[in-house]
Structure 1
């Protein structure tokens, strides 16, 4: 008998050593005893897609800004008829979300407002998007200009003469407030177009399902996919640099990419090296404002601060080129496949239906690339500059003895950092011999919080809390997170009988392959991936692009049709199954898997928990089909 509910928040055990964890986060982010009855009635799912690891207190800023701003565009700007925003809480260090629906009797009133607002955007799409880029660039430039220097021991004589009458402490305080508000500004901008991209796609998606009830979700996605997307540019730049290195015969200098200075010096001294280095410098701005993580954590490493990362990817591309592999994405084939599928469906329509199909498809195809491109501007570029400035501030406070390691600042929440700055400027201003009080206050408290965060990390989050609704309708929840009614039922084990060794998820990118699993829990493990392995991860970040040419397929715990893993795998023509709920904890590296991206199944073929072997012609034909239809070729017609 399958379960009907997930545990309540209060039923989850607190890991040993994490007692008192609620105190390290702001009060409005944790479940409240006084609201227990209301909060237990809501269904919450864990967003481990964007927040796969426990928050340090300062890091909740990314979750707060992004989910709040997502909500405001549904509920306050665009007046989406059937969806408000998404409530969110931190529980045991992980982020949980609960979609807020619109009462039935208010839906009709919102429709005219919604129509007027989206019409304005869609009619002026190109010019508004240009404006958007200018707004976002302006914010980034201002973030870059912020400084967090130590205070002067003595006010310069010039300031006395000009009557400036300030000691420089106001710059630290104002710049900190500016840092926090500029990040907020770009997160507000972030969702201005993102929600529209989802709306246009969902509108086309729903229309296709209405006129072609059996159409696969993937065919709909293929008909609007962009090929020339800015999010792929960083990876494409590395491929171009690898190709140039091979053309110039510089391969031997990439033997140890972890030694950045040694590698770049050797290239500089080589014939043709100056030409390569010119191209390397050119690629950095803006494309190296790119993280191996997702931009939501202070520990995410950015290419422009860790050259060993892009150099390592380039070295791998050089190896593959020397082995005779093709490293460029199959863009011509992808476009041909897209056109072919569009034409097949168009041939089945006439008159008004054809006109509606064309209009909705063209709108979705215009808006869709933004769904990924925004990611480069905000999560990568904006947040890269933001975290770099946070580290600068952490270093300055460390230099006054507030803590040892500049990153210790992340164990304070953002309002406590403000208090620490007032403490600093006060201690400095009055000239007391002891200086600021922070050193005495923070040492033990930071140590305590580090222990709590480490203890919280020992437990994986529950995928969801409380009782799921009969139907899940909120568009983001379905498209981005892959939280559908069917998915939640499968997490609860509704279809357990006869499925031993088979994980069920979303059919995110078509094709069938067999191969060896490589379980990757975070971006630090990416370097372990070997050619032709199957990537299994809680979630993949868009910045993992360079490994998609190496792997045979991808399997994730969370994510829907519009998750990055799904989109990137379709672009690289790799099978993918997303939203399995538990692949990363039920599969171990080295096990053989069969991934069927059209059915959304992952079969464990050997080792612990393997599926029973099916004898007879059925099993054989499945295997031979896999050899007969290599994934990279366009699929046979699905109409």
Structure 2
């Protein structure tokens, strides 16, 4: 391949941002493009996975992409033997992660089909019982994580432990607790993928069958046949809606609009009927406030249960919308009616034999598809939320020991360096000597912080090298929205006019004022009726979807969370535009056409 003729640059030709020239020093060697492998690496097409990791990594946070990609790969490649797809290669470039799907050699695909049908078929035939078992496993893992406790080493070991012949000191538990936390995070990621690819595979099989029957059918029409799911991922948002309605019914609006969260709760407690509402507020928190405004993949994610001002802000907004006479519930009945209408129309056009196949594939898709969203609550939000909370506790403990200054500074170390710090702490404790890290880590953390901040100030290149002639890997298309057409759009983005093209993620046409957001911390800036434009949305942004008029994202396919959530809320969406969040500025008026996947800038 002639690298110079590539649509996108080679990773080896991309300069480091000024001020972050030494960025490679903070990431593991196996996540980097090695110079000795340039000939091989330049033959691959890499895309920036900004859908899951939209900002550069702090070193510790790399644990999430490492575990995620390894576990995704193991289920495709070693467990299920998905016929056309193995795992994904991953590399970090200037702090952002790039993926390169690994396909199966065409000559080996056929041999994997019976193995896949046997293994996947077992899950499909026993879906309910296996899923119930999955939930037990995940909840048990959450309980194990919750039970972990990091405690400072005592000045003197308790005399009873010495006399009791235990023969071990508290450092043993300190190491074991940290190792167990990392192990449980790893286990959580394995559970994450146990069912996920099966959910996608069933839908893709149904999708392919319908396309064979009706080659010109819009992708959205097929997606609508499985919409209207009662996903547990929507429960946190639904709980807030119930609390808002209850507050209005009980006459607690003024109390809940009083100052801080503590001020509001105190005002509610002093009001007539206040205790009834407080009981409901408390009941909603376990487990539904184990929810983040991010996606659970970063140590900086803020969880509702730890930051009650986040759900309180959404709650106050819902109360105001109720007072304004707005309908705040999702249009589920309308979605189900539309689902059944479209399903019946296409089914009637098939012969009896095709109808039987259609019924079977559709039935399976509707059975398994809810997991595609539901798993997010149990894994990314609840389990990983507990993991991050425990890591913050450890970071605070080590800050108290003088290793660093800020409570979250530990995340500028990788997970193996943290274990080195635990050894430094334990060794100095045992010998009565000095901790070496208290002199080393503060300056090193500051160096790394500047690197990460500098990397975050520069948006990533969307892709590297030349794409294949045709993108055929189904997960790449459905989840990330990466097709041969979208790649061409990315390459020509700088020369495009006022029209942006993406995927038709959710139907409808809307004109409105754009609001460009790059972080969940900015969600409070959204005004009613605005068009949300962002690199990527998270499922947890659901409370603002009743407020916006449409959504536009840089990355994402028909099965991305943005597309799924917009369909469930009846909002137009265009996903996978490549660069909408850079091309569009807050305040611009835009037209979002979720029927054909276009976004038009109407005025500046």
TM > 0.5 between the two?
A: yes
1:553 is matched with 550
- Measured against aligned partners, the alpha-carbon deviations of 1:533-567 in whole angstroms (never above 9, x if no partner) come to 00000100100000000000000000000111000
2:514 is matched with 517
* Secondary structure at 1:73 match in 2: helix
1:341 is matched with 342
Answer yes or no: is the 8 Å Cα contact 2:304–2:311 preserved in 1.
Answer: yes
1:191 is matched with 193
- Measured against aligned partners, the alpha-carbon deviations of 1:208-252 in whole angstroms (never above 9, x if no partner) come to 111011111111111012421100000000000000000001000
1:20 is matched with 22
Answer yes or no: is the 8 Å Cα contact 2:90–2:99 preserved in 1.
Answer: yes
Please show how residues 619-634 of structure 1 align to structure 2 within 5 Å. none
Shift of 1:256: 4.4
Answer yes or no: is the 8 Å Cα contact 1:25–1:57 preserved in 2.
Answer: yes
- Measured against aligned partners, the alpha-carbon deviations of 1:372-410 in whole angstroms (never above 9, x if no partner) come to 111111110111001100000001101110000121100
Q: 1:22 to 1:494 in 2, by over 3 A?
A: closer
Farther off after superposition, 595-604 or 224-233: 224-233
- Measured against aligned partners, the alpha-carbon deviations of 1:41-93 in whole angstroms (never above 9, x if no partner) come to 10000000110111000000111111111111111111011110111011100
CA distance in structure 1 between the partners assigned to 2:533 and 2:266 by the alignment: 37
* Secondary structure at 1:34 match in 2: helix
Shift of 1:504: 0.3
* Secondary structure at 1:50 match in 2: coil
1:33 is matched with 35
Please show how residues 505-584 of structure 1 align to structure 2 within 5 Å. 505-584=502-581
Farther off after superposition, 440-449 or 138-147: 440-449
Please show how residues 7-406 of structure 1 align to structure 2 within 5 Å. 7-256=9-258, 259-406=260-407
2:601 is matched with 604
Answer yes or no: is the 8 Å Cα contact 1:226–1:365 preserved in 2.
Answer: no
- Measured against aligned partners, the alpha-carbon deviations of 1:135-177 in whole angstroms (never above 9, x if no partner) come to 1111110000111110111111221232122221111100000
* Secondary structure at 2:54 match in 1: coil
Shift of 1:4: 5.0
- Measured against aligned partners, the alpha-carbon deviations of 1:462-496 in whole angstroms (never above 9, x if no partner) come to 00000000111222111110111111122122996
CA distance in structure 2 between the partners assigned to 1:189 and 1:424 by the alignment: 33
CA distance in structure 2 between the partners assigned to 1:127 and 1:521 by the alignment: 40
CA distance in structure 2 between the partners assigned to 1:562 and 1:104 by the alignment: 26
- Measured against aligned partners, the alpha-carbon deviations of 1:440-465 in whole angstroms (never above 9, x if no partner) come to 11111111111111111121000000
* Secondary structure at 1:605 match in 2: strand
- Measured against aligned partners, the alpha-carbon deviations of 1:331-384 in whole angstroms (never above 9, x if no partner) come to 111111111111111111122100011100111111111001111111101110
Answer yes or no: is the 8 Å Cα contact 1:226–1:369 preserved in 2.
Answer: no
CA distance in structure 2 between the partners assigned to 1:360 and 1:135 by the alignment: 28
* Secondary structure at 2:81 match in 1: coil
Farther off after superposition, 219-228 or 546-555: 219-228
Answer yes or no: is the 8 Å Cα contact 2:479–2:558 preserved in 1.
Answer: yes
CA distance in structure 1 between the partners assigned to 2:244 and 2:62 by the alignment: 38
CA distance in structure 1 between the partners assigned to 2:228 and 2:473 by the alignment: 25
1:419 paired to 2:420: yes
- Measured against aligned partners, the alpha-carbon deviations of 1:295-333 in whole angstroms (never above 9, x if no partner) come to 011110000000001011000000000011110111111
CA distance in structure 2 between the partners assigned to 1:256 and 1:534 by the alignment: 30
CA distance in structure 1 between the partners assigned to 2:451 and 2:384 by the alignment: 26
Answer yes or no: is the 8 Å Cα contact 2:234–2:542 preserved in 1.
Answer: yes
2:456 is matched with 457
* Secondary structure at 1:90 match in 2: strand
CA distance in structure 2 between the partners assigned to 1:374 and 1:558 by the alignment: 21
CA distance in structure 1 between the partners assigned to 2:425 and 2:525 by the alignment: 44
Farther off after superposition, 470-479 or 40-49: 470-479
Q: Which runs of 5+ in 2 are unaligned?
A: none
1:483 is matched with 482
2:429 is matched with 428
Answer yes or no: is the 8 Å Cα contact 1:4–1:492 preserved in 2.
Answer: no
CA distance in structure 1 between the partners assigned to 2:600 and 2:548 by the alignment: 17
1:444 paired to 2:443: yes
Count of aligned pairs: 601
CA distance in structure 2 between the partners assigned to 1:441 and 1:36 by the alignment: 34
- Measured against aligned partners, the alpha-carbon deviations of 1:414-442 in whole angstroms (never above 9, x if no partner) come to 0000000011000011112x3x1110111
- Measured against aligned partners, the alpha-carbon deviations of 1:194-216 in whole angstroms (never above 9, x if no partner) come to 00000000000011111011111
Answer yes or no: is the 8 Å Cα contact 2:493–2:579 preserved in 1.
Answer: no
1:616 is matched with none
* Secondary structure at 1:577 match in 2: strand
Shift of 1:255: 2.0
* Secondary structure at 2:600 match in 1: strand
Answer yes or no: is the 8 Å Cα contact 2:6–2:465 preserved in 1.
Answer: no
Shift of 1:527: 0.2
TM-score relative to the length of structure 1: 0.93
CA distance in structure 1 between the partners assigned to 2:380 and 2:66 by the alignment: 14
Shift of 1:268: 0.7
Answer yes or no: is the 8 Å Cα contact 1:152–1:167 preserved in 2.
Answer: no
* Secondary structure at 2:225 match in 1: helix
CA distance in structure 2 between the partners assigned to 1:479 and 1:202 by the alignment: 8
Answer yes or no: is the 8 Å Cα contact 2:228–2:332 preserved in 1.
Answer: no
Q: Which runs of 5+ in 1 are unaligned?
A: 608-639
CA distance in structure 2 between the partners assigned to 1:494 and 1:458 by the alignment: 20
CA distance in structure 2 between the partners assigned to 1:536 and 1:528 by the alignment: 12
